Amino acid sequence: MYIKQAFNVLHEWWRYLVGFIIIFLASQIGSIPFIIAVMFKVVANGGDIETIQDPNVMMTILDSNLTLFLMLLSFALGLVATYFVVKYFHKQPFVELTTSRKKTDWGRVFFGFGLIAITTIVVTGLDYYNNPEDYVLQFDLVPFLILAVIAIVMIPMQTSFEEYLFRGYLMQGLGVVTKTKWIPLIVTSVIFGALHLANPEVDKLGNIIMIYYIGTGFFLGIMTLMDEGLELALGFHAGNNLIAALLVTADWTVFKTNSVLKDISEPSAGFDVIAPVLILYPIFLLIMAWRYKWTDWGGKLFGKVEEPVVIAEENNQNSNYIE
């Protein structure tokens, strides 16, 4: 099983705590270039540095493409740190953080990507057709091509970092420590959602948007546990963020990009905010369950994570020898 295989490597609880701290610090170091660039621009224009204490204001200082690139650097560095922590601190092959299969199933990655990409394009196209007054066509070839290069390279790093950290590293770590599946599912989903509290969407729509963020965490976690690997979650998350960055933007979203469309409508914190969690996500899970023949939902989501018998016996022998 995906979580259970972590028993085969160095999996003491303190390793996951130290590893998480290392990964967190690395991601924070990755945000320094963005902060320096913003401060340099403000000072060069004769502005007051105190005026950029608001993160949402910082996002508007630089060119949007440069902002996106620098903002995503922290995730790229976090992904690199995750790789080294797993490989050298836990002595775990990175493929075992990716999947319980012998090698990464790229077909699953592309299926998850395509599922959300096609859905997003179709839904956005229908909304544009029915409510053209809510959008502005802002396509500009050169800025868009620069955006496309940055997004295609950097956004998968951002989404992969989040998946490897939450549905991978923390899911396995909490799983082997608590020997449960539901505890890591709940904890990683809530933390994943809570980290989006700083997004401008929360200020605009209110705390109801947290239902979407936490619900998305549960959706990706369920997907990972049922499929015994990260492949579907990696593809889905990358497809969601990449298509969103390229297709449509708004002044109140975290990704303010040179996308094809700009949404100028006044957003409402109504049913449409939680509709993906209540309607789309269950449909997506049913499609994946049908395609990949998922069974034993109760066991895979709420069952115990038992340490392999051979490993347990070896640990007991080692303990007796030490005594």
At residue 321, does pLDDT exceed 80?
A: no
pLDDT score, position 311: 46
Under the banding of pLDDT at 50, 70 and 90, the label for residue 51 is low
- Joined together, the tokens standing for residue 242 give 């990449």
Q: How far apart, in whole angstroms, are the C-alpha atoms of residue 124 and residue 146?
A: 22
Across the chain, the runs of DSSP E, i.e. the strands, are 135-137, 248-249, 261-263
pLDDT over 70 for what percent of the chain? 92
pLDDT score, position 47 = 66
Q: Please classify residue 1 by burial: count the beta carbons closer than 10 Å to its beta carbon, then call 0-12 exposed, 13-18 middle and 19+ buried.
A: middle
Q: Are 188 and 174 in contact (CB under 8 A)?
A: yes
Question: What are the strands, taking DSSP E only, across 240-311?
Answer: 248-249, 261-263
What pLDDT does 15 receive?
97
Taking the CA of residue 230 as centre, how many other CA atoms within 13 Å lie in the half-sphere pointing to its CB? Answer: 27
Q: Across all residues in the chain, what is the average pLDDT?
A: 90
Residue in 161, 152, 151, 153 with CA at minimum distance from that of residue 74: 161
Instruction: Give me the residue spans of the domains in the chain.
Output: 4-322
Output 21 or 48, whichever has higher pLDDT. Answer: 21
CA 35 to centroid of chain Cα atoms: 22
pLDDT of residue 246: 96
**H-helix or E-strand spanning residue 22:** helix 13-29
187 Cβ neighbours under 8 A, 6+ residues apart:
170, 174
pLDDT tens track for 89-141? 999 999 999 999 999 999 999 999 999 999 999 999 999 999 999 999 999 99
Say if residues 171 and 184 touch (Cβ distance below 8 Å): yes
The CA–CA distances, whole Å, from 252 to 148, 199, 255, 257 equal 21, 9, 9, 11
Distance between CA atoms of residues 277 and 255, nearest Å? 21
The closest alpha carbon to 255, from 265, 267, 268, 242, belongs to 242
**Does the structure show a pLDDT above 60 at 319?**
no
- Provide the strand spans (E) within 102-231: 135-137
In this prediction the pTM is 0.91
Lowest mean pLDDT among 18-27, 213-222, 313-322: 313-322
CB 29 within 8 A of CB 77: yes
pLDDT one-digit tens code per residue, 179-230: 999 999 999 999 999 988 878 788 788 888 899 999 999 999 999 999 999 9
Nearest alpha-carbon partner for 61 in 73, 76, 48: 48
Query: C-alpha 41: how far from its chain's center?
Result: 30
**Which pLDDT score, from 0 to 100, does residue 256 have?**
83
| One-letter amino acid for residue 37 of the chain | A
* pLDDT recorded at residue 252: 82
Q: In which band, very low, low, confident or very high, does the pLDDT at 48 lie, cut at 50, 70 and 90? A: low
Residue indicated by tokens 């913003």:
38
Lowest mean pLDDT among 11-25, 108-122, 210-224, 251-265: 251-265
Which token pair is 54?
A: 């608001």
